[in-house]
Amino acid sequence: MKKTICMSAIVIFILVSIIDAGAQIWEEFSGIKWGAPLTSLKGLKEKRKDAYVNYFVRPGKIYTIDNLVLGSVTYGFYQNKFYAAFIDLDSRSHFDQTMELLKLKYGKPRANLGLTQTVFIWDYQQMKIKLKHDKTKETFKLGFYFTPLSEALNRQRIAKGGIKIRKLK
């Protein structure tokens, strides 16, 4: 119980730090400018890739307070430009706390309630912020997307027949 309370406090502290940087979140994430070319960055290690996106982590860069880990951060690059950052959340409690912080900062989200996944979406400047709950795996993720590049990626995937995207109202 004590560990859960401590972890919750840490998650809130880190998320408030990230979210309170709202004036800058549309410019950069974790010191990396949106749209920055991959070749201009040092210290990233490829995690995986698909037909369109390369995903990286920063080895040795641990997101913690008092040696307790928040969750891993993955950086996404489309056409070798930084377009997204993903933070794995550890629990339903962290998901709920993140939801409340995002609602306070950005207002009520749009929601896509699916059978296997629920996605809450906020639009801010040139950013799209998504809070996801995968119901089948019981996993939670917070994603920040640089809209000019993420929309280009979606158009390319649609054109190639790789995915079908429904517009949320």
pLDDT tens digit sequence for 30-84: 888 999 999 999 889 999 999 999 999 988 665 532 343 456 789 999 999 999 9
* Distant-in-sequence, close-in-space partners of 106: CB < 8 Å, separation ≥ 6: 22, 122, 124, 129
What is the rounded distance in angstroms from the CA atom of residue 120 to the CA atom of residue 131? 5
Q: Where are the domains of the chain?
A: 2-89+116-159
What is the rounded distance in angstroms from the CA atom of residue 135 to the CA atom of residue 145? 22
Tens of pLDDT, residue by residue over 100-114, are 888 988 999 999 888
121, burial (CB in 10 Å: exposed 0-12, middle 13-18, buried 19+): middle
What is the rounded distance in angstroms from the CA atom of residue 109 to the CA atom of residue 132? 12
Read off the tokens for 119: 């996605």
Tens of pLDDT, residue by residue over 116-153, are 999 999 999 899 999 999 999 999 999 999 999 999 99
Name the nearest CA neighbour of 149 among 122, 123, 126: 126
Give the predicted TM-score (pTM) of the model: 0.78
Q: Do residues 7 and 68 lie in contact, with contact meaning Cβ atoms separated by under 8 Å?
A: yes
Backbone angles phi, psi at 116, to 5 degrees: -110, -15
